[in-house]
Amino acid sequence: MPRLGSPIGPFFVALFGGVLMMSNGIVTFIVATPSLYPGSGAWVGVVGSGTAGILTGIVVVLLAGLLAVDSSRPSSVGLAIIAFSLVSYLGGGGFFLGLILGVAGGIWTLYLLPSGEGRGAAVENPELPRAPDRQCPHCGRAYSGMAAQCPFCGTPALTAA
């Protein structure tokens, strides 16, 4: 499967998922907490659920922002988005749509190329020795020493005796 280069799509999907996770935590606090007795088991569960929703949403939003600012490590950011989106299930998962969008944005992020790779220019490996350039005796142009013939005029490369 081809890898994509732009992080804009996964950024918006993960961002929207994180916002839904945070809003689910906030709604949990606003709706459920006032009707419960503070200190009771149900109150502690609601507070824990709301806190989990808000915190996981914040982390997913920050990871989406990191992806937009610096896309040099999309695989690790994508895995973190997926992990925190799955943890958001404890806080309601952003009405479960946030969980789905967070996981989708994280998976989409895994298919991104790190910034600077695959953008047209070949990346040379500095560990490998590079053959010296040759000059064609027929047309005079320089070409790679690995070529068997001149790529411009087709003259066979001269080999050292």
**What are the residue boundaries of the structural domains of the chain, listed by start?**
8-110, 131-161
> CA 100 to CA 110: how far, in whole Å?
16
Token pair recorded at residue 43: 């109150």
């804009």: which residue's tokens? 8
pTM of the entire structure?
0.67
Six token digits for residue 118: 């695959």
Q: What is the mean pLDDT of each run of 10 residues along the chain (161 residues)?
A: 70 96 92 77 83 95 92 88 94 93 94 61 58 82 80 77 39
Of 59, 76, 81, the closest CA to residue 114 belongs to 76
**pLDDT score recorded for residue 2:** 46
What's the pLDDT score for residue 5?
Answer: 62
pLDDT score recorded for residue 99: 95
- CA-based nearest residue to 52, from 80, 97, 26, 88: 88
pLDDT for res 51 = 92
Residue with tokens 């790529």: 151
SS3 115: coil
Residue positions counted in the chain: 161
Instruction: Give the residue ranges of DSSP H helices in 7-149.
Output: 8-32, 41-69, 74-87, 97-110
